[in-house]
Each structure stands twice: as C-alpha cells, then as structure tokens.
Amino acid sequence: MKVSKAAHGMALKGWRYEDPQYWMEEVPCAVEGLVNRDRKSGDDGG
C-alpha cells in the first residue's frame, strides 16, 4: 500500500495545534520538503 508522506506529515503537524491552521501563500518548509520528495518519488498516494 502506497501512502503520501506529504499528507502524513501535514496531519502530524496539524495535531500540534488546538485550533485549525490555514496556509494562505506558502506552506511550512518541512511540509514543502515532504511534497517535493513525494513528487520526485512518483508517490501519488494511490
């Protein structure tokens, strides 16, 4: 089963906050790195 490491990373980061968080322009650097790695690996989560 393939999973999206970026989605998993965002979920883990989200658990740290009591209130919902929204990214308007730029994502946190840690999440950007996960997304780029997913793109390079061809992992589309499905």
Of 37, 26, 30, 24, residue with least CA distance to 12: 30
Q: Give this prediction's pTM.
A: 0.47
Contact 9, 30 (CB under 8 A): yes
DSSP 23: -
pLDDT at 2: 62
Joined together, the tokens standing for residue 22 give 């929204």
pLDDT, residue 27, reads 77
Tokens of 24: 């308007």
Residue 23 carries which side chain, given as an amino acid letter? Answer: W
What would the pLDDT profile of 1-46 be if each residue is shown by its tens digit?
Answer: 566 777 787 788 778 888 887 777 887 787 788 788 888 887 455 4
